[in-house]
Amino acid sequence: MTERPFHEGLEARIADTVAPTLEHMGYELVRIQVSGKERPVLQVMADRADDAPFRVEDCEAISHALGAVLDVNDPFRGEWTLEVSSAGIDRPLTRAKDWERYAGHVATVELAIPMEGRKRFKGVVLGADAEIARLKLDDGSEMALPRASIRRAKLVLTDELIAATALPPAAAN
């Protein structure tokens, strides 16, 4: 089974509902996010399991498939909107494989529970396992952050990240 990102509450229930369909289609769930109260917006962020570039056609296919799944297991009362997107360049780091893949790049992390008197950290990604994400801070110290305590973690858009994620000229066509 593919490693799935950690979610809580309604977002966890939605992730459990949509992830099997995504995986069957050849995608991986990156993040579920619900925003808004009057007319909720459900954002589903995904990657291609084959690591090929994510295209508009991928968003369309996922949107159609998940729309059908969510119509049956309607997570909201009343009207709501489904948005499907790729993780993008300055992507969230939600799975251990994301932390491993982007080791060496700069990220920001916000914890739910303060550690050493602070909730926010910025540094170079060193990797992660199932429990701990590692970050090298600007002062050279290393932090072992409990993944279960991470509220948000995302890459910082840098020239190095852009260069590392740029498509080779032949693949861009």
- Boundaries of every domain in the chain: 9-86, 96-163
CATH number of 96-163: 2.30.30.100
Q: What is the pTM of this model?
A: 0.86
**pLDDT band at residue 6, thresholds of 50, 70 and 90?**
confident
Residue type, 13: R
**pLDDT band at residue 172, thresholds of 50, 70 and 90?**
very low
**pLDDT band at residue 37, thresholds of 50, 70 and 90?**
confident
Cα–Cα distance measured from residue 32 to residue 152, given in angstroms and rounded to the nearest whole number: 12
Question: What is the SS3 assignment for 147?
Answer: helix
C-alpha of 86 from chain center: 9
In this structure, whether the domain defined by 9-86 belongs to CATH 3.30.300.70 is answered with yes
Query: Looking at 73-82, 140-149, 160-169, which range is the least confident one?
Result: 160-169
Could you list the beta-strand ranges (E) of 40-166: 41-48, 81-86, 106-115, 118-128, 132-137, 142-146, 150-155
Q: Give the residue among 151, 17, 28 at the shortest CA–CA distance from 82.
A: 17
The pLDDT of residue 173 is above 50: no
